[in-house]
Structure 1
């Protein structure tokens, strides 16, 4: 199995966490998004969206992180990341979709490049855009978490798909200078996650294509 990834991609980070939690062996294939390698025809033939992550499992190619995560949960059932219980599954997916549909798409690299290179916004304006959407989304996540019992992970004592998505989003937001301390429940869960072996293994700075020295 191969994972086409970029060290700082939060969507690829999601998949790396799941692979680590499940103990699945894979070969890391770096795709340098900053150098535009995702636009090369060889990669587009594998993943038409031209994004990472992309997973290759034998003759099976799959793009889009949430589809990959669902595939991995079926392929490697333990530990289960998407709960079997109907209500709990819905709650996990509700939180996941706030991150994957409301926060990430408006802030990913290609959107930031469009803002800067096509619309001509300043660096300060681009950063304000990023922080606005992060703040709006994390406000929602914090409220959703407040409905749950106070537990080490988003939903209980074991990580779920919600944690696989939340930790990378918080990592990216903190890297961009967002005030994560403004969200105490999120901050606590993030710190707990990032102290666990699977999350450490999947972290951007641990990847082969991460710049030396961070």
Structure 2
């Protein structure tokens, strides 16, 4: 993300499957133990939505939201659908909980069904947009939110994102 807006950064991976998000060092950054976290010196911001809005304000030279109010609202809608309807089902902690409560097959079916529902909503929302990216010919917040979710949907849930 930082590469898109042209700022230098240091990437530190957190291996969720090894529980690195539960270390005391990480807990100081985010007591919820979620990723991502942006540590910008005196400012620590967690949650993708908050991080992107922070970067939008701090580095306005390359906008993450279009100036056009309609396209801006569209990008915010996409981000909201991803963060509320799709991304929570990709979280390992949520998946583990579902497996414990209903079993692996039922939890997979639940996640697949709801992730597909979210992507179907996005497809309908973006159907009339022309351009290379989600909301036109520039990369904006919608693209940043959708891209990793598409990859996870295909890899983890075996959802056909091409047809």
- TM interval, shorter chain, is over 0.9
The structure with the largest helix share of the pair is 2
Give the C-alpha shift of residue 23 in structure 1. 1.7
DSSP-derived class of the 1:158 partner? coil
- In 1: Cα distance, 2:64 partner to 2:23 partner: 33
- Distance in 2 (CA, whole Å) between partners of 1:145 and 1:36 is 36
1:198 is matched with none
Partners of 1:49 and 1:74 in 2: CA distance: 24
Q: Is residue 70 of structure 1 aligned with residue 38 of structure 2?
A: no
- Contact 2:75–2:141 (CA under 8 A) maintained in structure 1: yes
Q: Is the 8 A contact 2:90 2:152 kept in 1?
A: no
CA distance in 2, matches of 1:154, 1:61: 29
Name which of 130, 134, 158 aligns with 2:138: 158
CA distances 1:85-118 after superposition (whole Å, capped 9, x unpaired): 32221111111111111111133111001112x3
Q: How far apart are the structure 2 equivalents of 1:73 and 1:146?
A: 26
**1:1-80, aligned counterparts within 5 Å?**
18-80=1-63
Look up the SS of the partner of 1:134 in the other structure.
helix
Q: CA deviation at 1:120?
A: 5.1
Is 1:95 matched with 2:78?
yes
Moved over 3 A (4+): none
* Residue aligning to 1:121: 103
Structure 1 unaligned segments of length 5 or more: list them.
1-17, 183-214
Task: Report what 2:95 is aligned to.
Answer: 112
> Structure 2 unaligned runs (5+)?
none
> In 2, are the aligned partners of 1:55 and 1:61 still within 8 Å (CA)?
yes
- TM-score (normalised: structure 1): 0.71
Partner SS state of residue 106, structure 1: helix
Match of 1:77, SS state, is coil
CA distance in 1, matches of 2:56, 2:17: 30
Q: Secondary structure at the match of 2:126?
A: helix
Work out the number of aligned pairs and report it: 162
